[in-house]
Structure 1
Amino acid sequence: MLRDAATLLALALCILTYRTTLVAAISTTSVAPISNERAGWVITTDSAMPGNEATLVLDNNEGTFWHSAWFPDAPLPHWLNIDMGTQYLISGFSYTPRQDEETNGNIGMHSIEYSVDGNNWATAAQGTWANDNTAKLVNFQETLCRYVRLTATSEAGNRGPWSSAADIAISYDASYIAPAPQTRGQWGLTVNFPLVPVAVGLVYDTGEVLAWSSWNPSGFGGSPGGQTVTATYNPSTSLVSKALITDTHHDMFCPGISLDFNGRMIITGGNDAPRTSIYNPPGHGWISGPDMQIARGYQSSATLSNGWVFTIGGSWSGGIFQKNGEYYDPSANTWNMLNDADVTPMLTNDAGGLYRSDNHAWLFGWKNQAVFHAGPSTAMNWYTTTGSGGVTGAGNRLDSGDAMCGMAVMYDAVAGKILTMGGSRDYENAPAVSNTYVVTIDNVGTQAQTERVADMNSKRIFANAVGLPNGQVFVVGGQDYGSVFNDDSSIMYPELYTPSSQTWTVMAPMAVPRNYHSVAILMPDASVMVGGGGLCDGCSMNHYDGQLFNPPYLFTSSGAKATRPVIDSISADNVALGGSLTVTMNSAVTTFSIVRLGSATHTVNTDQRRIPLTPSSDGGNTYSITIPSDSGVALPGYWMLFAMDAAGVPSISKTIKIF
């Protein structure tokens, strides 16, 4: 049995809740309650201290524990190998550290693997656990296996070459069948973080994901100020590293994020509402920027065509009052007020008042250092940043209404196309909507054109949207009724929007709810990292992990992994606006696109935008592509270059810098 009846009931309710949404539309397969009969399991290990044998992790007693040998010490890594005696479709793994007064052996870096025959192993999850005594529940996609192995590669507190565990449990489902990957995509590796990843940004020189929470890896309240817990995920090695940032004196929870022309992350406000912190990838270090003119939290920011960073709103932190626009000038390293960039036209009519109504603006840097504001208010606006700034109405999103905590993605910047979807009339305690609109912008100050297209299959608030290299938009997570720090009414089935047909397709279900404080970001290999949710210190809604989603374009019509085109070389990794690149491929391709590196927090990713590129060819596998000449369309900075073959299969990207 599981450790106790309460744990069994909690896990069962979680699994059953995860699978209720849209099950009838996707599968008629019945879902059996999860169980975990451990009496017949056989467990082995590489090392154990007499009196602390491996079998103690299965004895239903958290007062006992397995511990690797310490006299003499046995070097890391250490492993526990479980033979369940027969094959099961497993979906989760629980590790409980020792529960006495000691912490020696708490597992830090680790992997969880599975095998059908005990000889050939595959990885289900990998990452780093925090150094505490709380149970670590890892969910992953259903996987058929007989054997499960936990490998510890570090001790969480670096106290010695030890590993320990009070309890190990595995959850499984005997009947669930996952959808075919060729039509629904496929979920891959679970990445365990030592924090709840509430905010993320892509690092241009390594392809790593920088993630952070608050001063506390599991909560944000009672902040002592001046520090942020961060973690970095390296997709090449699957390693997760942890750091505590104190030198910028900034708790970066609930900030604005923008990537500047040099790929630096400009992180503003939040818990320490006036602060600016800058992450500088070449040295992977942090530096302090100047304080903003107005203290802000839950504001959005956007990089402009001249390199400035514009921000507006943000009454969640730093006081509740009219917070007009201002901009950061990286050259002068100063913040400057734009008193006539009036916040009033962009406010929603939220039940929470101004505290909520100026949050999470959908901002897009555009031509002539202007900003297009697409929502979440039903009213759209142009903000100008010359002189003292200004604001001009750009029309309404038809019948949208306010859509707080909805999403907006610029999926074709050349055509000025923005997809907006979801949200709610109020920040919380209100039903979500499934409304979807295509907003088309052109010259600054003109009215935006809006078209209502097919609604999403699910109503969503607190979801995330990611633009893909082929122009599709992937939407993941959220609830159909907004309730912060709550996984009720979770939408477990992502969706994929196809612009050519203006339709939505339901994707394979995920293993973990992704709601308030979740993130999603496009990776250089054209997969999507989805993670987080929670940060409510000790609550069951904290999700200390991420998972990689592989979209349908990575599979053949039979469901096998597609052979991907390969970019053999590019003529330069730096290209001027309006300039051309020569790209040599290993095989024929038909289209190219560039996608700007992204960042995400609280449903907002103002950095991501996609530009489709039409190549010319010499008749072989060498192609020429030309970058748009307008800096408001092709914002300078770092972009991922993708090539796609006739079947729509994308290459792994090459990173280029536009200047």
Structure 2
Amino acid sequence: MKTLKYLHLAWSKTGSMNHARRDHAAFTLKNGKVLVCGGFDNGAMDSAELYDPSTENWTTIDSMNDARGEHTVSLLNNGKLLITGGLRNRDFLNSTELYDPSNETWTITGNMNDPRGEHMASVLTNGKVLVSGGYGNGHWLNSAELYDPSTEIWTTTGSMNSARSQHTSSVLPNGRVLVTGGHISRDALNSAELYDPSTQTWTTIDSMNGTRSEHTASVLMNGNVLVTGGFDNNARGSAELYNPLTGLWTITGSMNHKRWKHTATVLANGKVLVIGGFEHNALTSAELYDPLTETWTIIDDMNVARGEHTTSVLANGKMLVTGGSPGGTSLKGAELYVSLQTN
């Protein structure tokens, strides 16, 4: 039997969004289209639009009820998307709303107990949504809360052991949630903790080897978590692995480029694609991490340098990259990558 070998990734421009935006949210819907909403461009935005992979065009849809950036989007088991919090001008929001793809409408749902932006949201195995940390009410938060889609009510759950914003939150194969890094004021963190949905409590675990904020965390196919890059006074290029079975962190191969506010996406072949972000300036660079060899390989550059962007994997195997910033402004351009294969 012949084996497919991945050579590199080819990038191509696709239809531009109707609005430039950065620090927005994007999600691939079950119908294959991609919803993009909110973000910043000379202020917070309430606009939303849909990308159709079959035509590579964008269509403006009804706006959200609140303008917001640095918010989160979560796919619920009922197919709706939950949008939480974020920043509007100088106000951090506790408002949340639902997007229904069946009729392309937005409806207001229950408010969170705490206003917050730069927070994280994770869909638990029981269908509830865990929101943790962030910044709001003039301070960094250690609070966490749960959204129940059946009642549309938020309830407070156990607080984290450390306040943090711009951290990561990853649902592990055992159902627990791993939170890593982030920052308090200007201090980046190396601390990590686990949330147990059965007891609604947090447990501090071994710290990462590096302090980092605005980094990424990716759950690999073997269940380990790959943490990459981030910022601590300067951009970081280091990467490390968390093993949920042993509870240990190990250093793995460093990226070829230091970066923060980048994205990391697990591909169908198990490799991790890291693109863009900032070092001193915005980056066009892209690279692949191979979990089998723990090495990074540089691949083709994107067409445009960008950080604070989003990535969305499409049903056709391509990945859509939207918006972001080259530094100081917002982008409306989008591009696609596709893995080139040979027998």
TM superposition score normalised by structure 1: 0.35
Structure 1 match to 2:305 = none
Q: Which has the larger radius of gyration?
A: 1
Tell me the equivalent position of 1:507: 253
> How many residues are matched?
282
- Match of 2:141? 358
- Is 1:526–2:270 an aligned residue pair? yes
1:288 aligns with 2:81: no
Aligned CA distance change for structure 1 residues 493 and 306 (closer, same or farther; 3 Å): closer
Whichever structure has more strand as a proportion of its residues is 2
CA contact (8 A) 1:495 1:505 kept: yes
Aligned with residue 261 of structure 1, among 77, 82, 88: 77
Match of 1:462 in 2: 214
Separation in structure 2 between the aligned mates of residue 251 and residue 228 of structure 1, nearest angstrom: 10
CA deviation vs aligned residue, 1:555-591 (integer Å, no higher than 9, x gap)? 699x9xxxxxxxxxxxxxxxxxxxxxxxxxxxxxxxx
Counterpart in the other structure of 1:441: 196
Q: Name the CA shift for 1:460/1:509 in 2 (closer, same or farther; >3 Å).
A: same
TM-score (norm 2): 0.60
Asked whether the equivalents of residues 268 and 277 of structure 1 are also in contact (C-alpha less than 8 Å), the reply is: no
The CA distance in 2 between the partners of 1:243 and 1:546, in whole Å, is 29
% identical equivalent positions: 19
Q: Is 2:170 the counterpart of 1:409?
A: yes
Kindly provide the amino acid, as one letter, of the partner of residue 99 in structure 2. I
Give, in angstroms, the shift of residue 227 of structure 1. Answer: 1.3
> Alpha carbon RMSD of aligned pairs, Å?
4.8
Alpha-carbon distance change, 420 to 297 in structure 1, aligned in 2, over 3 angstroms: closer
Q: Displacement of 1:287 after TM fit? A: 1.4
Residues 1:509 and 1:403: Cα distance change in structure 2 (over 3 Å): same
Q: Measure the CA separation in 1 of the matches of 2:285 and 2:51.
A: 12
Question: 1:266 and 1:449 mapped to 2: Cα distance?
Answer: 27
SS at match of 1:290: strand
**In structure 2, do the counterparts of structure 1 residues 265 and 547 end up closer, same or farther at CA, with 3 Å as the change threshold?**
farther
Q: Give yes or no for contact 1:495–1:506 (8 Å, CA) kept in 2.
A: yes
Task: Write out aligned runs for 1:325-344 (5 A).
Answer: none
Partner of 2:47: 227
Alpha-carbon distance, 1:266 to partner:
1.6
> Could you tell me how far apart the structure 2 residues matched to 1:240 and 1:356 are?
42
Pair 476,230 (structure 1): closer, same or farther in 2 beyond 3 Å:
farther
From 90, 94, 99, the counterpart of 1:278: 99
CA contact (8 A) 2:145 2:157 kept: no
Indicate which of 396, 420, 437 corresponds to 2:179: 420
Deviation at 1:456, TM superposition (A): 3.3
Contact 1:257 1:266 in 2 (8 A): yes
Name the amino acid aligned to 1:464.
T
Contact map agreement 1:421 1:434 (CA 8 A) in 2: yes
Map Cα deviations across residues 588-635 of structure 1 (whole Å, 9 max, x no partner): xxxxxxxxxxxxxx9xxxxxxxxxxxxxxxxxxxxxxxxxxxxxxxxx
Q: Distance in 2 between matches of 1:530 and 1:197?
A: 17
Task: Describe the shift of the 1:222–1:279 C-alpha distance in structure 2 as closer, same or farther (beyond 3 A).
Answer: same
Gaps of 5+ in 1: 1-120, 132-156, 158-192, 317-353, 371-384, 482-488, 535-539, 560-601, 603-659
- Residue matched to 2:291: 552
- In structure 2, the residue matched to 1:4 is none
The separation in 1 between residues aligned to 2:219 and 2:15, in whole angstroms, is: 30
Correspondence for 1:378:
none
Rounded to whole Å, the distance in 1 between the matches of 2:243 and 2:57 is: 36
Equivalent position amino acid for 1:419 in 2: L
Indicate the SS of the match to 2:43.
coil
Cα distance, 1:472 vs. partner? 0.8
Q: Report deviation, 1:473.
A: 0.3
- Cα distance in 1 between the residues matched to 2:124 and 2:9: 42
Contact 1:210/1:231 (CA < 8 Å) preserved in 2?
A: yes
* Displacement after TM superposition at 1:307 (Å): 5.0
CA distance in 2, matches of 1:259, 1:288: 14
Preserved contact between residue 271 and residue 288 of structure 2 (Cα < 8 Å)? yes
Task: Give the distance between the partners of 1:550 and 1:364, measured in 2 at CA.
Answer: 33
Deviations 1:285-325 (A, max 9, x none): 73111254469551555556775657688765xxxxxxxxx
**Contact conserved, 1:464 with 1:476, CA < 8 A, in 2?**
yes
| Aligned-partner residue type, residue 289 of structure 1 | T
Structure 2 CA distance for partners of 1:508 and 1:205, relative to 1, 3 Å: farther
C-alpha separation between the residues in 2 aligned to 1:472 and 1:499?
6
Provide closer, same or farther for how the CA distance between residues 266 and 529 of structure 1 changes in structure 2, counting only shifts above 3 A. farther
The 8 Å contact of residues 252 and 271 in structure 1, kept in 2 or not, is answered as: yes
More helix by share: 1
Give how far 1:411 is off.
1.9
- Equivalent positions of 1:371-410 (< 5 A) are 391=156, 397=161, 401-410=162-171
